[in-house]
Amino acid sequence: MNDTTHMPLIGDLFPEMQVNTTHGVKNLPGDYAGKWLVLFSHPADFTPVCTTEFVSFQKNYQTFRDLNTELLGLSMDQVFAHIKWEEWIKEHFDTEIEFPIIADTGTVATRLGFLHPGKSGHDTNTVRAVFVIDPEGKVRTILYYPQELGRNMEEIIRIVKGLQTVDANQVALPANWPNNELFGADAIIPPAKTVADAQARLAAGQAGEFTCEDWWLCHKPLGQ
């Protein structure tokens, strides 16, 4: 589905929109075509948990860029508030925020499902949402965190790495990849869809092409 009446879901194309940011006007998702994008909302500027998150996002910004990934923040604050908050972070933590932040009036947050009034008690603070958008503009992951819990940067980075690995190798990835308790860094072979596929899968496993616990659960090292 890609209509304009529902919030984007996993697998949808991110809706086209123009947003005002601390780096000027951005056209989404077009300005990020060919790159991965992590779009994340925070409840408000000058709040404790959000401040720690922005420092952490910035500390990991080079890691994201090394993965061909850009960061884009959002809250329902005006541009001047974002700028002043960035200055405060620079002054107090010697950390310069290099990625843009959307200044939203509520239109973008509403469109994307970032407002959960039942949690915050009002409709002016966004939840801690994360959208991971691929180079074709498709939404690949959606995460929601409550206001009282800061995000885990390592997990967001793992998601980007994992999705890139899935796309490059046409595989699935197990829990806690690349440190799965059963198969380590192995990738999961997509399940067979026909009886013939199931029989071929077992034969391939017996031939050593990959390891099969059963025809529906086969895995292999990446690159094999």
Round to whole Å and give the CA distance between 188 and 76. 41
Q: Is 28 helix (H, G, I), strand (E, B) or coil?
A: strand
Q: State the catalytic residue, choosing from 50, 72, 89, 101.
A: 50
What are the percentages of helix, strand and coil residues in the chain, rounded to 5?
Answer: 35, 25, 40
Instruction: Clarify whether 50 is annotated catalytic.
Output: yes
The identity of residue 125, as a single letter, is: N
Q: Are strands 187-188 and 211-214 parallel, antiparallel or unpaired?
A: unpaired
Round to whole Å and give the CA distance between 130 and 121. 21
Residues marked active site are found at 50
